[in-house]
A and B are shown apart, each in its own frame.
Chain A
Amino acid sequence: MTEETLLKTPLYDLHVAAGGKMVPFAGYAMPVQYPLGIMKEHIHTREKAGLFDVSHMGQAYIRGIGDVDPAKALEKIMPGALAVLKPGKMRYTLLLNDEGGIEDDLMVTRTFEPDGMLYVVVNAAFKDKDYAIIEEKLAGQVTLEPLDDRALIALQGPKAEAVLASIAPEVVDLGFMEATMVTLGGVVCWVSRSGYTGEDGYEISVPADEVAEFAAKLLEHEDVEWIGLGARDSLRLEAGLCLSGHDFDGNISPVAAKVTFALGKKRREDGDFVGRDRILKELAEGAETVRVGIIPSGRAPAREGTPIADMDGNEIGTVTSGGFGPTVGGPVAMGYVPAAFADIGTDIQLMIRGKGHPAKVAKTPFIEQRYVRKTANK
């Protein structure tokens, strides 16, 4: 894809003006880093507040046709407890295929609309695929409306609350995974207390033609810096969060990917979703290979695709995400190994450039998640 054909988010000019190094990502020209650099951007987010442009992600409304509850309809292809979502509550869930593999992960939020309309956010790289699956599998039950006229930004870090509250004090009342409509500087925005960095923070859906002004206002705050895709990746890796299409894909089940927290308890009992036979079987018996956290003993980062071997040198798996964790202060990774090697502390080797480097299976997240919960989440 040439530079001319790359899509631009409504914040493109602001990124360029801020010295963002623009790279192709999921069909968009996106900032991988700013002059601060990935390391400092990462640390800044953990210590203060980082501003991320995530407008390339897919935002959509899903409505039920007739009397259909769109959340109930989605439960056929998503194993989370969605029908129980009350207005303003959101949930991380998975889009499954008929084999119980994970096509994508997404956030589903119940809006305050009387018809129970949902607001969903899916990964940029898979939005066309996800929308097609939803429209095909749930034809006649729901309609999906992509929100192409809205930008999406994330403000993440321990200072995010104070920064956003200086514009809209009511955001303090939101707990983790709660959302509401807020007027921010005269602009009506959809704000949720959520993110993918392991930090407290907010994701804010803003009309595309208003977002540049709003972002500029946030950046006026001394605690706020632009953060690029590079630090976004190292932050989510340290937080032990999966990157769709890398840490799982359509061949991998939620049990193997160890994202079973996304399977509603009641939903497991009812078992009324695609791919159920495999998922329930793996829940009972365990998956053959599972995702684990990995801490290399040395300093060499193990990137995605690095083979994992046992201590005798037999190849047993592959790294799916890996790099340097600035907060950890060393390399961290995630990958798949046979269940017999999944216990925390198991010695393994990472075959970096053909040479074995010792490592240990480790717990994730690699850092402490600092979500702010206001009410008990069911």
Chain B
Amino acid sequence: MIKYSEDHEWVSVDGDTATIGITDYAQNALGDIVFVELPEVGATFAKGDEVSVVESVKAASEVYAAVSGEVTEINEALEGEPALVNSAPTTDGWFFKVKLSDAGELDDLMGEDAYKSFIEGL
């Protein structure tokens, strides 16, 4: 199951773990990504907390947590190759995985069709 936030993150849920990244729309808007600051494994955060920063050539953009949880894994490939976020935002360009602390929060996120309509309206 993949869900989307209004801040253009995708949340791919597998049991009580979710993989999180930014959408194609987001990477396109940000432009060439040169650095991604990821949280540390073991860090916990609540929905809405600043959890990551994406730096394009031009500017830094904060990424706010779409769900609450504990970081279980980060995509270390982004350290050497941040451009993966541009070339493969929803696959190799994933950011981190979390153990969900409140699966109910997923209900607040959009499904694929709803997100599509959302970005068409922007």
Contact = CB atoms under 8 A, between A and B. Distances in A.
B34 A299 contact: yes
Interface stretch (B1-9, B18-26, B55-63, B96-104): B55-63
Contacts of A349: none
Contact of B31 (A33, A300, A303, A331): A33
A358 interface: no
A301 B61 CA distance: 12
B37 A38 contact: no
B37 A324 contact: no
Interface in A10-34: 32-33
Interface in A37-79: 37-40, 42
Contacts of A299: 34-35, 79, 82
Nearest to A23: B58
Contacts of A300: 35, 37, 55
A324 B31 contact: no
Contacts of B74: none
Interface residues of A, number: 20
Contacts, number: 46
A301 B56 CA distance: 9
Contacts of A331: 34-35
A301 B31 contact: no
A326 interface: yes
A24 B3 CA distance: 34
Contact of A32 (B34, B55, B58, B60): B58
19 contacts: A33-B31, A33-B58, A37-B31, A37-B32, A38-B56, A38-B57, A39-B32, A39-B57, A42-B57, A230-B31, A230-B57, A230-B58, A233-B58, A300-B35, A300-B37, A301-B35, A324-B34, A324-B57, A326-B57
